Amino acid sequence: MASKLILVTGATGLQGGAVVDALLADSAPVRALVRNPASPAALQLAARGVELAHGDFDDADSLHAATADVWGVFSMQNPSTNDAPEAELRAGRNLIDAAHAAGVTTFVQTSVARAGDQQSFAGWHDGRWDEIYWNAKSGVIDMVRAANFPFYTILKPALMMANFLPPRSQWIWPSLQRSIIETAVKADTTLDLIDAIDIGRFAAAAFADPRRFNGQEIDLAGDALTPVEIAAILSEATGKTVAYAHLTAEDAKAQGRIPAVVVSEEWNNVEGYRVDMAKVDSFGMKRTSFADFARRHAEDFHIKGQ
């Protein structure tokens, strides 16, 4: 794979950054799509030997330039919002079209576990869940399937372990820095969790062996834990006593929690990601446990308390 140039989108972010790390470890040449080549994150990539392509998902010309002479693409888009409900679909379409025109051989898309299953969610037809989010995720997957790339893989990660770290934790779990996980997730609800490092490993493996991974749609998680178990692991890793407290959805929103986050917590109680760990393990790659993740980031949680 050493001579096969791979374009990574989202390279300055969590998932794309992990993919860059894994590809560089495999000595693969990497090009990164970046909005600002002069940003500190982009300059750090360049210092590691990553080629920078200045571009944007809404700029078709920049995407055609970024995909020129590229063998593989790692594709990720930011979720659509109520203010821009078509944004993710448009970004996915623009990148897929550019990659197809460039003759890209291997296309790896990252999405989310259960994308495509939303019609089966309890309460879906009553408008209980975020239709824009789920329909955009599954819509991009449909585009990848239909694009006729010689090889494609869909990775579907569950809840990111990094959501427990600042700055993400400050709006997803705002009480964590006060040594308590206040959440609408029930005490006996199991959360499927994934470390971005594992996403990077799977993506790099899909590029290294595209025939094996061709057409695979892989739900990804490294661990499955209740919030009570998560609190215990954080306590052990940080040396701070972290408690768990259940909130009703109404109380969570009354506290100022972001409504979309509260809805996602309710969704976990009712549906959840339901990752098949046996299938994950069938690919023969290491799964990172939340305990391993917490120990690695013990100084990064910034939890106050005793």
Domain regions of the chain by residue span: 6-158+195-221+273-287
Range name among 84-88, 101-105, 229-233 with the lowest pLDDT average: 84-88
Q: What is the mean pLDDT of residues 31-47?
A: 97
- 179 within 8 A of 240, measured Cβ to Cβ: yes
The backbone torsions φ and ψ at residue 219, rounded to the nearest 5 degrees and listed phi first, read -70, 135
Nearest alpha carbon to residue 197 among 64, 62, 76, 17: 17
CATH topology for 6-158+195-221+273-287 is Rossmann fold (3.40.50)
pLDDT of amino acid 306: 64
pLDDT of amino acid 84: 80
- The Cα angle at residue 217 between residues 214 and 219, in degrees rounded to 5: 140
Q: How confident is the model at residue 101 (pLDDT cuts 50, 70, 90)?
A: very high
The number of C-alpha atoms within 13 Å of 26 and in the hemisphere containing its C-beta is 24
pLDDT per residue as tens digits for the range 50-66: 999 999 999 999 999 99
* Sign of the Cα pseudo-torsion (271, 223, 30, 36, in order): positive
